[in-house]
């Protein structure tokens, strides 16, 4: 297990939000934390500990009046630590190269690949041609419905017709370098992980997988380590003291390093 840092940007500010509360209409979200520091501060902070493979997520659509401010924050972070952080949010085949040219190690994609709620292989293949599978991360963030985890798109607001299974993971692993998976209904609540999802990912884990959502204590971290069989990486947002939470960043690193 590795710790993967995060920089979530909404309305031009580094924030931690409750994932399921995000709405494009009015650029609304329930906020847990709004930073006074810019995104470059966090990139430089993570750089000191050489925490590569973290993700920068733009939480505004391009149609938002706040998008340009959010984009500028993402670029500040990438310039602060070139080649070390991944970026996602509105990435398509026609703009993916822009982010790589500006310092992203990988681009993270959901909605372009799951266009209109369905897995669009034509778009997936366009992305692979544009950037190469070695620089592509597929975000398979999901929400539970009718006993299954359904992949969601458009800033976690729309359900696709694809459920997250080992077969789907097998199929998509041939197109990308990693998976990023937010347990959306647990995201931002620091109230425990989605144990079924963690077990599914830990039982698979054939390429790097990062789990995000619900870690609020070292007990949760231990459970994720157990269910993930030490194979899946973790992001902690709202629970981390960097974002106003109770889990001390330095102790998290020490805990994870001790288990590796």
Do 193 and 162 contact (CB within 8 A), yes or no?
Answer: no
Q: Is the per-residue pLDDT at 215 higher than 70?
A: yes
pLDDT, tens only, 15-59? 987 656 667 767 767 778 899 999 999 999 999 999 999 999 999
Domain boundaries, the chain: 6-259
Do 224 and 231 contact (CB within 8 A), yes or no?
Answer: no
Q: What is the pLDDT of residue 184?
A: 86
pTM (2 d.p.) = 0.94
Separation between Cα atoms, residue 80 and residue 83, nearest integer Å: 10
Structure tokens at 69: 């401010």
Q: Check: CATH 3.20.20.70 for 6-259?
A: yes
Cα-based distances in Å from 183 to 178, 193, 201, 215, 246: 16, 8, 12, 10, 20
Separation between Cα atoms, residue 4 and residue 139, nearest integer Å: 14
Separation between Cα atoms, residue 150 and residue 55, nearest integer Å: 22
What percentage of the chain carries pLDDT values higher than 90? 84
Measure the CA dihedral 222/226/228/234, to 10°: 10
């Amino acid at each position: 297990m590795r710790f993967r840092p995060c920089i979530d940007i909404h309305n031009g500010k580094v924030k931690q939000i409750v994932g399921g509360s995000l709405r494009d209409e009015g650029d609304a979200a329930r906020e847990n934390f709004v930073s006074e520091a810019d995104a470059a501060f966090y990139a430089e902070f993570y750089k000191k500990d050489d925490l590569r493979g973290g993700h920068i997520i733009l939480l505004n659509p391009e149609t938002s009046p706040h998008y340009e401010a959010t984009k500028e924050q993402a670029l500040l972070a990438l310039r602060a630590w070139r080649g070390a952080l991944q970026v996602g949010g509105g990435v398509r085949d026609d703009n993916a190269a822009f982010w790589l040219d500006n310092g992203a190690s990988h681009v993270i994609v959901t909605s372009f690949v799951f266009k209109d709620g369905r897995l669009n292989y034509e778009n997936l293949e366009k992305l692979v041609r544009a950037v190469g599978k070695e620089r592509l991360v597929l975000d398979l963030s999901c929400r539970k419905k009718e006993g299954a985890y359904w992949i969601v798109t458009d800033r976690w607001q729309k359900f696709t017709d694809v459920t997250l299974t080992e077969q789907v993971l097998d199929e998509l692993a041939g197109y990308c370098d990693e998976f990023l998976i937010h347990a959306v209904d647990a995201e931002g609540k620091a109230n425990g992980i989605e144990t079924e999802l963690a077990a599914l990912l830990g039982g698979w884990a054939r390429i790097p997988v990062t789990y995000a959502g619900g870690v609020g204590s070292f007990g949760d971290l231990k459970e994720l380590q157990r269910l993930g069989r030490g194979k899946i990486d973790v992001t902690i947002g709202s629970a981390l003291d960097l974002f106003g939470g109770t889990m001390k960043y330095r102790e998290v690193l020490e805990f994870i390093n001790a288990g590796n």
